[in-house]
C-alpha cells in the first residue's frame, strides 16, 4: 500500500526533516510541487529538496574529483524562482558534504534547502545503495513527488526508500489516482496519440497499448512527429533529413500494415525535413478524436516551438479539449508546455482546463474530464500497466 501524506503522518514529523524528491526538469513541473512544499512547511517540517536536471556526462570525472559539474545543468537558477513561489528563502547547497549540510539543516528553523543536481554524482543514476544511504542520512523521512521520474531506477527515487519511511506527495497522489481512474473501465474507441522526438520510448507505447490478452487495447494510434517519420521510413518512403530512427524499424515492421496505425496524409516540410502534420491530417485526426471515448496523448505533432510548425499540435489540442465525452490524459514536458504556448486553452488554479473562445471572451468552457499529467514516459508506462520502480518502492 502506498502511504500518502495524511494528518497523522504530518503531525508525527513536526520539527523533523523531509527529503522531498521533486522534478525540476521543466518549469510546469516546478509549479506542480509547490502545494506539497507548502503543506510540509505548514506542519513545521524542514525540507531538503532533491532533484536532477538533464544528463550530465561523466567523461571528465577523475579519481580525485568524484562528480562532474556542468554549470548549465546546475539547479542554482531555481532558487530565486522557488523562493518567490514559496515567499520564503530557499538555501542552495552546492557541495555534497553531507555531514556539514546535515548540521545546518538541523540548526535551521523551518528551512528549505535545495541540493545541487544529484546526477552530478555517479551514484544517482546507478541507483547506488551506498550513495542512497548517505543521502538518506540527511533526513528523517522521504516523500516522492516526482511522478515524472518514477520510471527511472535512480538512487533518490528507488534505493533511498530502503533507508527511510517513505510517502507519496500530493502531486504523486493526484497522478496515481487520476491515471487509475482513466484506466478503470475505459471506453472504446480508445485513441493513443503519439508524437514528439524521443523515438524509441514511443515505439514501446504502441506495443503496450496494442493489447494481446490484456484489456488495455487501443483502437487507433494517431502518429505525428518523429514516430510518424520513422513509420514513413519503414514503408520505404523518402523522409530526407527528417528526425527518424532507423534502428527501430525492425521492431515496427509488424505494425506497418495494420489499420490501427494512422499516419499523416499530408505534412509540412522545410529543407528536406518533415516538421509538422498538414491541415488535412489535422481534420482527419480530429474526426477520430471527436468520436473517441478514451484519449491518451504524448508528444507534440510537430516542431511547435516554431510558429510555422505549430498548427498541427494546436489543431490536435482543439479537438482534444473539445471532446467532453471522453476521458483524456495528456502528458509530457513539451506536450503540456505546448498548451500554454500555442493555444488559448489554459489551466485555472484548480487544475481545470479552460478554453477561451476567440470571439466570445465572456464564454469560457471547462473540460473536467481532461487530465494533464506531469509525466511523459512515466505516464505512458504507468497507463500501459507497467510497474514503475519509484512507485513500487513506496509500497
Ligand atoms: P514530451 O516532452 O512531451 O514527452 P518529446 O520530448 O518526445 O515530448 O518531444 C518534444 C519535441 O519534439 C519538441 O521539442 C518538438 O519540437 C519535437 N518535434 C516534434 N515533431 C518533430 C519533427 N517532426 N521534427 C523534429 N522535431 C519534432
Ligand atoms: Mg521532452
377 part of a folded domain: no
Residues with CB under 5 A from ligand 2 (ion): 333-334
CA–centroid distance, residue 330 to ligand 2 (Å): 13
Mean pLDDT by 10 residues, the chain (395 residues): 96 97 85 94 97 78 56 92 94 90 90 95 95 97 97 97 98 94 86 89 79 72 96 96 93 91 98 98 98 96 97 95 92 88 75 64 66 90 90 97
One domain, residues 316 and 291: yes
195 lines ligand 1 (CB under 6 A): yes
Name which of 353, 352, 335 is nearest 344 in CA terms.
353
Pairwise CA distance, residues 365 & 352, whole Å: 10
One domain, residues 247 and 127: no
CA–centroid distance, residue 178 to ligand 1 (Å): 25
169 lines ligand 1 (CB under 6 A): no
Q: Of the residues 29, 197, 383, which should be mutated to test ligand 1's pocket, given the most ligand atoms within 8 Å of the CB?
A: 197
Pairwise CA distance, residues 295 & 193, whole Å: 8
Pairwise CA distance, residues 228 & 261, whole Å: 10
Q: Determine the pLDDT at residue 285.
A: 98
Pairwise CA distance, residues 115 & 113, whole Å: 6
Closest ligand relative to 299 C-alpha:
1
148 lines ligand 1 (CB under 6 A): no
1 part of a folded domain: no
CA–centroid distance, residue 332 to ligand 2 (Å): 6
386 part of a folded domain: no
181 part of a folded domain: no
CA–centroid distance, residue 306 to ligand 1 (Å): 11
CA–centroid distance, residue 142 to ligand 2 (Å): 27
What is the domain extent for residue 15? 7-172
264 lines ligand 1 (CB under 6 A): no
384 part of a folded domain: no
299 lines ligand 1 (CB under 6 A): yes
One domain, residues 217 and 284: yes
> pLDDT tens for residues 157-196?
999 999 999 999 999 999 999 999 888 778 999 999 999 9
One domain, residues 111 and 220: no
One domain, residues 85 and 210: no
196 lines ligand 1 (CB under 6 A): yes
> pLDDT tens for residues 185-227?
789 999 999 999 977 777 777 887 887 655 558 999 999 999 9
345 lines ligand 1 (CB under 6 A): no
Q: Of the residues 29, 334, 374, which should be mutated to test ligand 1's pocket, given the most ligand atoms within 8 Å of the CB?
A: 334
One domain, residues 353 and 205: yes
One domain, residues 164 and 246: no
One domain, residues 228 and 362: yes
Q: Whose CA is nearest to atom 27 of ligand 1?
A: 303
One domain, residues 198 and 164: no
Q: Determine the pLDDT at residue 140.
A: 98
One domain, residues 22 and 86: yes
One domain, residues 273 and 314: yes
Of 108, 142, 172, which one is at a domain's C-terminal end?
A: 172
300 lines ligand 1 (CB under 6 A): yes
CB 124 within 8 A of CB 154: yes
227 lines ligand 1 (CB under 6 A): no
CB 140 within 8 A of CB 13: yes
Into how many domains does the chain fold?
Answer: 2
Q: Determine the pLDDT at residue 360.
A: 53
331 lines ligand 1 (CB under 6 A): no
CATH number for the domain harbouring residue 244:
3.40.50.1260
388 part of a folded domain: no
341 lines ligand 1 (CB under 6 A): no
312 lines ligand 1 (CB under 6 A): no
183 part of a folded domain: no
Q: Whose CA is nearest to atom 15 of ligand 1?
A: 303
Atom of ligand 1 nearest to the CA of 202: 7
One domain, residues 141 and 211: no
296 lines ligand 1 (CB under 6 A): no
141 part of a folded domain: yes
Amino acid at each position: 500500500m502506498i502511504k500518502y501524506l495524511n494528518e497523522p503522518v504530518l503531525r508525527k514529523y513536526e520539527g523533523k526533516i523531509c527529503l522531498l524528491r521533486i522534478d525540476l526538469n521543466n518549469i510546469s513541473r516546478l509549479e506542480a510541487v509547490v502545494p506539497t512544499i507548502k503543506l510540509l512547511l505548514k506542519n513545521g517540517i524542514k525540507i531538503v529538496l532533491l532533484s536532477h536536471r538533464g544528463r550530465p556526462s561523466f567523461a571528465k570525472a577523475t579519481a580525485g574529483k568524484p562528480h562532474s559539474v556542468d554549470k548549465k545543468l546546475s539547479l542554482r537558477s531555481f532558487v530565486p524562482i522557488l523562493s518567490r513561489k514559496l515567499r520564503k528563502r530557499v538555501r542552495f547547497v552546492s557541495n555534497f558534504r553531507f555531514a556539514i549540510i546535515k548540521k545546518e539543516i538541523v540548526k535551521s528553523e523551518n528551512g528549505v534547502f535545495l541540493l545541487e543536481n544529484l546526477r552530478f554524482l555517479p551514484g544517482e543514476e546507478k541507483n547506488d545503495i551506498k550513495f542512497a544511504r548517505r543521502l538518506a542520512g540527511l533526513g528523517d523521512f522521504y516523500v516522492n513527488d516526482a511522478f515524472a521520474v518514477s520510471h527511472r531506477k535512480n538512487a533518490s527515487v528507488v534505493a533511498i526508500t530502503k533507508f527511510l519511511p517513505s510517502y507519496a506527495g500530493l502531486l504523486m497522489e493526484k497522478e496515481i489516482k487520476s491515471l487509475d481512474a482513466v484506466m478503470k473501465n475505459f471506453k472504446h474507441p480508445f485513441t493513443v496519440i503519439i508524437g514528439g522526438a524521443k523515438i524509441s520510448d514511443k515505439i514501446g507505447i504502441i506495443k503496450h497499448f496494442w493489447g494481446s490478452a490484456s484489456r488495455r487495447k487501443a483502437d487507433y494510434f494517431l502518429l505525428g512527429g518523429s514516430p510518424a517519420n520513422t513509420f514513413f521510413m519503414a514503408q520505404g518512403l523518402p523522409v530526407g533529413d527528417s528526425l527518424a530512427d532507423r534502428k527501430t524499424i525492425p521492431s515496427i515492421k509488424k505494425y506497418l500494415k495494420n489499420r490501427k496505425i494512422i499516419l499523416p496524409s499530408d505534412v509540412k516540410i522545410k529543407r528536406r525535413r518533415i516538421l509538422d502534420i498538414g491541415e488535412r491530417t489535422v481534420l482527419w485526426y480530429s474526426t477520430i478524436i471527436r468520436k473517441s471515448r478514451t484519449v491518451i496523448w504524448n508528444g507534440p505533432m510537430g516542431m511547435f516551438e516554431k510558429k510555422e510548425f505549430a498548427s498541427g499540435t494546436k489543431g490536435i489540442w482543439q479537438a482534444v479539449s473539445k471532446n467532453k465525452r471522453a476521458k483524456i490524459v495528456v502528458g509530457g514536458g513539451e506536450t503540456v508546455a505546448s498548451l500554454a504556448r500555442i493555444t488559448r486553452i489554459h489551466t485555472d488554479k484548480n487544475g481545470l482546463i479552460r478554453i477561451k473562445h476567440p470571439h466570445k471572451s465572456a464564454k469560457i468552457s471547462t473540460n473536467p474530464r481532461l487530465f494533464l499529467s506531469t509525466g511523459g514516459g512515466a505516464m505512458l508506462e504507468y497507463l500501459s500497466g507497467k510497474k514503475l520502480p519509484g512507485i513500487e518502492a513506496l509500497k
